[in-house]
Structure 1
Amino acid sequence: MQKTSFQNELTISSTQQRNGASNSRKEVRKIQSWLTLFSMSHPGSATATGIDGDFGKATEQAVKNFQKAKGVAETGLVDQATFDLLSAPMRAAFLGAGQGAGLRELILTIAENHLVNRPFELIIDQQPNSGPWVRAYMDGNEGSEWFWCMGFVQAILDQAASVQGKNFKKLMPLTYSCDTVGMTGLQKGILSRYTQIRNDPSVVKPGDIFLLQQAPHDWIHAGIISAVDDDIFETIEGNTNEGGSNNGNAVLKRVRNFRKSKLDVFSIESLV
C-alpha cells in the first residue's frame, strides 16, 4: 500500500495514565480522540471528553467507562491492549481482508467496510477536518484547509489495488485535490462529462469516481460510485454530511441525481 499513515493511528509509544510520568500530549490526544469517536456510536457510554492532551480525572473516567463498555478491567490507564480496543474500527477498515471478483468489486467491498466502521472527523484546537480518520486518509495532515474527500477515495483505491498487486498511482497521482484528478482524467481521456453521462449513463460503472463540477475545470467534491440507475448514482463518499456537503464530517452512503447535479465521472477501467 502507498498510503500507510493509518498505521500511526493504531499504536501508542507507551502506557498513558492520569499524571503518568511517560505521558505524551500527542498520545493522550489520540486516546481522547478515540474515546470521543466511540461515544458517537455508543452515546450512552460516557466516553466523550475534551481533546487537549491532558490525561486528567475526566479522561481517566472516560477510559474506565470505555473499559466497562468493553467488559475489561476498569483500570483507567491505556496500555497498547486497551488502545487496540479503542482503535479497532480503523484496524478493521484498513487491515480487513478485501473480497471481490475484480478490482471494481474490491473497491466497493472495501469502501463498505470503511463505512460500517464509521469514519468521522473531529474538531481539535477549533479546527475541523481533524482526528485519526482524517490523518489516515490525508497522510498525516489535518485541519480546516484539509478537505478529505479525495484522500478517502484514494485510500480505498490504494487498498483495493494493493490486494491485486497493482499501484493506484498508475491511474492518477497521489493528491488531495479534486482538480488534479479531474485534469488527469481529461488529459488521459477517461473523464466523462455530466452532459455525456445524462445522454448515456452506461458509460459509468460501479467503482468509478464522481467529481462534482463547479466549473469546467473546477471540481469541489469526489466520491466512489457504488450503483448506477436511470437518474441516480448511489455513492460512498468522505467529508460529507446528510445534506451532501463537500466539507461535511463523515463517510456516508448517499444517493445523487446526476440529471440535476453536474457529476463528471473518472473511469478506473484502465487499472482494472
Structure 2
Amino acid sequence: MQKTFYQKELIIKNTQQRNGANNKKDVEKIQSWLNLFAMQNPNTGTATGIDGDFGPATEKAVINFQKFHNISQNGIVDQKLFSTLSSPLKKAFESPVSGNNLRELIVNTAQNHLKNHPYELVIHNQSNTGPWVRSYMDGHEGTDWFWCMGFVQAIIDQAASIQGKNFKTLMPLTYSCDTVGVTGLQKKLLTRYQTARTNPSIIKPGDIFLIQKTTNDWFHTGIVTAVNGDIIETIEGNTNADGSHNGNAVMNRMRNYKQSKIDFFSIAPLL
C-alpha cells in the first residue's frame, strides 16, 4: 500500500493519564476516539473536549469506556487500551477483504470502511479533522482539506495492493478532483455525463464518479458500487445526508446520474 499514514494513528508514544507526563497530541488522539465512540454509543458517557489536556473529564470518559468493555477502570490509557479505542481504523485498513476481481475488491473495501463509521471531527474550531481524515489525507487535516478524493484513493490503493498493484499507475497521488478529472481526460478514461446518460453500460462498479462544477472543474467524488436504472449507488467520503461535498462522514448514497452532471473515471487499466 502507498497510503500508510493510518498506521501512525494506531499508536501513542507513551501511557497517558491524569497528572502524568502527557503528550498533547496523544491526548488529542485519545479524546478523538472517545468522541468517535460516543457517536456510535451515545449513552456511554465518553464524549469529552478535544484539547490535549488529560483532565478529570477525560479521565472519567476513559473510565466509562473501560466500564463499557468490562475491563479495569483506572482511567489510564496505555497502548493496549488505545488499540481498543482505535480498533475501527485498524479494521477498516487491515481486515481481510475478498473479491473475484479488482472491481469487487474496491467495492468490498469501501463497504468495509463504511461499516467502521469513518467520521470527521471539529478540533480547535477546524472541521475536516481527526484520525480518519488524517489517515485518508496522509496526515493533512483542517477546514481547507476536503477529503473525498483522499478517501477514494485510499480505497483503490488498498484494493489494488491486494493484487500487488500500484494505484499510482492509474492516477497520481492527489487530494484534488480536478487532477483526477484532467488525468482521466488525458488517458481517455473519463466518460462525460452526456455519454453516461445515454449509455449507462459504460458505468461499472468500482469506477469513480466526479461531479462537475464546470467542464474542467469537479468538486466531489466517490466510488460507484452499483448501477440501477437512473441511479448509481455510491460510497463516498466527506459527505452527509444532503450529499454535500463538504459533509462529515463516509456514507452509502443514491445519486440520479441522469439529473446531475456526473462524469465517470474508469479503473479499467488496473484490472
TM-score after normalising by structure 2: 1.00
Q: What residue is the counterpart of 1:52 in the other structure?
A: 51
Q: What residue is the counterpart of 1:119 in the other structure?
A: 118
1:23-48 deviation per Cα after TM superposition (whole angstroms, max 9, x unaligned): 10000000000000000000001101
Cα distance in structure 1, aligned partners of 2:48 and 2:98: 36
Q: What residue is the counterpart of 1:108 in the other structure?
A: 107
Cα distance in structure 1, aligned partners of 2:89 and 2:148: 17
Q: What residue is the counterpart of 2:72 in the other structure?
A: 73
Cα distance in structure 1, aligned partners of 2:109 and 2:229: 25
Mapped pair 1:40 → 2:39: yes
1:110-148 deviation per Cα after TM superposition (whole angstroms, max 9, x unaligned): 100000000000000000000000000000000000000
Cα distance in structure 1, aligned partners of 2:139 and 2:178: 21
1:145-174 deviation per Cα after TM superposition (whole angstroms, max 9, x unaligned): 000000000000000000000000000000
Shift of 1:12: 0.4
CA RMSD of the aligned region, Å?
Answer: 0.4
Cα distance in structure 2, aligned partners of 1:111 and 1:214: 25
Cα distance in structure 2, aligned partners of 1:102 and 1:270: 13
Mapped pair 1:7 → 2:7: yes
User: What secondary structure does 2:184 align onto?
Assistant: helix
**Which amino acid in the other structure matches residue 104 of structure 1?**
R
Q: What residue is the counterpart of 1:163 in the other structure?
A: 162
Runs of 4+ in 1 over 6 A off after TM superposition: none
Cα distance in structure 1, aligned partners of 2:111 and 2:61: 29
Q: What residue is the counterpart of 2:86 in the other structure?
A: 87
Shift of 1:221: 0.1
Q: What residue is the counterpart of 1:16 in the other structure?
A: 16
**Which amino acid in the other structure matches residue 263 of structure 2?**
D
Alignment of 1:129-148 (within 5 A): 129-148=128-147
**Which amino acid in the other structure matches residue 38 of structure 2?**
S
Cα distance in structure 2, aligned partners of 1:148 and 1:10: 20
**Which amino acid in the other structure matches residue 4 of structure 1?**
T
Matched pairs, number? 271
Between the aligned residues of both structures, percent identity stands at 63
Cα distance in structure 2, aligned partners of 1:52 and 1:229: 45
Shift of 1:70: 1.1
**Which amino acid in the other structure matches residue 196 of structure 1?**
T
1:82-134 deviation per Cα after TM superposition (whole angstroms, max 9, x unaligned): 00110000000001111101100000111000000000000000000000000
Mapped pair 1:265 → 2:269: no
**Which amino acid in the other structure matches residue 51 of structure 2?**
D
**Which amino acid in the other structure matches residue 9 of structure 1?**
E
1:34-67 deviation per Cα after TM superposition (whole angstroms, max 9, x unaligned): 0000000000011010000000000000000001
Q: What residue is the counterpart of 2:195 in the other structure?
A: 196
TM-score after normalising by structure 1: 0.99
Alignment of 1:111-260 (within 5 A): 111-260=110-259
Cα distance in structure 2, aligned partners of 1:229 and 1:214: 24
Structure 2 unaligned regions, length at least 5? none
Cα distance in structure 2, aligned partners of 1:35 and 1:257: 37
Cα distance in structure 1, aligned partners of 2:237 and 2:58: 29
**Which amino acid in the other structure matches residue 18 of structure 1?**
R
User: What secondary structure does 1:238 align onto?
Assistant: strand
**Which amino acid in the other structure matches residue 47 of structure 1?**
T
